[in-house]
Amino acid sequence: MAIDATFGSYTIVAFVATAKPAKARSFYRDTLGLRLVSEDEFALAFDAHGTMLRVTIVKEVRAADYTVLGWQVPDIVAAAKRLREAGVQLQRYPGMGQDEQGIWTSPSGARVAWFKDPDGNTLSITQF
Protein backbone atom coordinates (compact mmCIF):
# COMPACT_ATOMS: atom_id res chain seq x y z
CA MET A 1 0.00 0.00 0.00
CA ALA A 2 1.46 3.36 -1.02
CA ILE A 3 1.22 6.41 1.19
CA ASP A 4 -0.16 9.65 -0.22
CA ALA A 5 3.06 11.64 0.23
CA THR A 6 6.68 11.04 1.07
CA PHE A 7 7.74 11.44 4.67
CA GLY A 8 10.01 14.26 3.53
CA SER A 9 6.93 16.42 3.20
CA TYR A 10 5.73 15.85 6.77
CA THR A 11 6.74 17.78 9.87
CA ILE A 12 9.11 15.87 12.11
CA VAL A 13 8.61 15.49 15.87
CA ALA A 14 11.70 14.98 18.05
CA PHE A 15 11.68 12.84 21.21
CA VAL A 16 13.89 12.57 24.26
CA ALA A 17 13.13 10.79 27.53
CA THR A 18 13.06 12.00 31.13
CA ALA A 19 12.53 10.38 34.49
CA LYS A 20 12.84 13.83 36.10
CA PRO A 21 10.09 15.93 34.50
CA ALA A 22 10.45 18.94 36.83
CA LYS A 23 14.20 19.15 36.14
CA ALA A 24 13.63 18.55 32.43
CA ARG A 25 11.00 21.32 32.31
CA SER A 26 13.41 23.75 33.94
CA PHE A 27 16.32 22.69 31.73
CA TYR A 28 14.58 22.79 28.36
CA ARG A 29 12.42 25.84 29.17
CA ASP A 30 14.59 28.01 31.42
CA THR A 31 18.14 26.95 30.52
CA LEU A 32 17.74 26.30 26.80
CA GLY A 33 14.91 28.79 26.26
CA LEU A 34 12.40 26.52 24.53
CA ARG A 35 8.73 27.47 24.84
CA LEU A 36 6.71 24.94 26.85
CA VAL A 37 3.59 24.23 24.78
CA SER A 38 1.91 21.59 26.93
CA GLU A 39 2.49 19.24 29.81
CA ASP A 40 0.64 16.16 30.98
CA GLU A 41 1.42 12.87 32.70
CA PHE A 42 2.94 11.50 29.48
CA ALA A 43 5.22 14.25 28.19
CA LEU A 44 6.37 17.84 28.17
CA ALA A 45 5.96 19.37 24.72
CA PHE A 46 8.21 22.22 23.65
CA ASP A 47 8.41 24.36 20.54
CA ALA A 48 11.95 24.11 19.22
CA HIS A 49 11.87 26.72 16.42
CA GLY A 50 8.83 25.13 14.79
CA THR A 51 9.72 21.53 15.61
CA MET A 52 7.86 19.82 18.41
CA LEU A 53 10.17 18.35 21.03
CA ARG A 54 8.32 15.81 23.17
CA VAL A 55 10.17 15.07 26.39
CA THR A 56 8.54 11.76 27.19
CA ILE A 57 8.12 10.89 30.87
CA VAL A 58 9.42 7.42 31.64
CA LYS A 59 10.24 5.50 34.83
CA GLU A 60 13.91 5.10 33.96
CA VAL A 61 16.11 6.68 31.31
CA ARG A 62 18.75 4.53 29.72
CA ALA A 63 20.85 7.31 28.27
CA ALA A 64 22.53 6.49 24.98
CA ASP A 65 26.27 6.96 24.67
CA TYR A 66 25.77 9.02 21.54
CA THR A 67 24.03 12.28 20.64
CA VAL A 68 20.23 12.01 20.67
CA LEU A 69 19.31 15.63 19.94
CA GLY A 70 21.16 18.63 18.57
CA TRP A 71 20.82 22.19 17.38
CA GLN A 72 22.40 23.85 14.36
CA VAL A 73 23.71 27.20 15.56
CA PRO A 74 25.10 30.16 13.59
CA ASP A 75 27.90 30.90 16.11
CA ILE A 76 29.06 27.93 18.17
CA VAL A 77 31.41 30.00 20.33
CA ALA A 78 28.54 32.27 21.39
CA ALA A 79 26.20 29.30 21.91
CA ALA A 80 28.79 27.45 24.00
CA LYS A 81 29.36 30.58 26.08
CA ARG A 82 25.61 30.96 26.67
CA LEU A 83 25.40 27.33 27.81
CA ARG A 84 28.33 27.76 30.22
CA GLU A 85 26.81 30.98 31.59
CA ALA A 86 23.58 29.03 32.22
CA GLY A 87 25.55 26.48 34.25
CA VAL A 88 25.71 23.80 31.56
CA GLN A 89 28.99 21.91 31.40
CA LEU A 90 30.29 21.04 27.95
CA GLN A 91 31.46 17.44 27.69
CA ARG A 92 35.04 16.51 26.92
CA TYR A 93 35.93 13.26 25.21
CA PRO A 94 39.47 11.82 25.28
CA GLY A 95 41.17 11.82 21.91
CA MET A 96 38.69 14.16 20.24
CA GLY A 97 41.06 17.13 20.05
CA GLN A 98 38.50 19.60 21.39
CA ASP A 99 39.67 23.18 21.84
CA GLU A 100 39.87 24.99 25.19
CA GLN A 101 36.13 25.71 25.02
CA GLY A 102 35.24 22.05 24.43
CA ILE A 103 34.50 22.49 20.72
CA TRP A 104 35.59 19.80 18.25
CA THR A 105 36.23 20.50 14.57
CA SER A 106 35.20 17.57 12.38
CA PRO A 107 37.06 16.56 9.20
CA SER A 108 34.32 18.32 7.18
CA GLY A 109 34.94 21.56 9.09
CA ALA A 110 31.73 21.40 11.14
CA ARG A 111 32.29 22.47 14.74
CA VAL A 112 30.50 20.51 17.47
CA ALA A 113 30.15 20.69 21.26
CA TRP A 114 28.24 18.28 23.48
CA PHE A 115 26.39 18.62 26.76
CA LYS A 116 23.99 16.58 28.90
CA ASP A 117 20.43 17.17 30.01
CA PRO A 118 19.37 16.35 33.61
CA ASP A 119 18.75 12.68 32.65
CA GLY A 120 22.18 12.24 31.05
CA ASN A 121 20.96 12.41 27.43
CA THR A 122 23.75 13.68 25.18
CA LEU A 123 22.78 16.84 23.30
CA SER A 124 24.87 18.88 20.89
CA ILE A 125 25.31 22.19 19.18
CA THR A 126 26.83 22.30 15.69
CA GLN A 127 28.02 25.08 13.43
CA PHE A 128 28.27 23.89 9.82
pLDDT, tens only, 15-51:
999 999 999 999 999 999 999 999 999 999 999 999 9
Give the phi and the psi of residue 30 in degrees, each rounded to 5.
-85, -40
The predicted structure's pLDDT at residue 26? 98
The predicted structure's pLDDT at residue 6? 82
Comparing CA positions, the residue from 117, 116, 111 lying closest to residue 28 is: 117
Cβ proximity of 92 and 101 under 8 Å: no
The predicted structure's pLDDT at residue 109? 97
- pLDDT at residue 1 is higher than 80: no
The predicted structure's pLDDT at residue 10? 87
- pLDDT at residue 5 is higher than 80: no
* Amino acid occupying residue 111: R
Choice between 7 and 39, residue whose per-residue pLDDT is larger: 39
Q: What is the pLDDT of residues 69-106, one digit of tens each?
A: 999 999 999 999 999 999 999 999 999 999 999 999 99
In the CATH scheme, what is the code of domain 12-127? Answer: 3.10.180.10
End-to-end CA distance of the chain, in Å?
A: 38
The predicted structure's pLDDT at residue 84? 96
Choice between 122 and 8, residue whose per-residue pLDDT is larger: 122
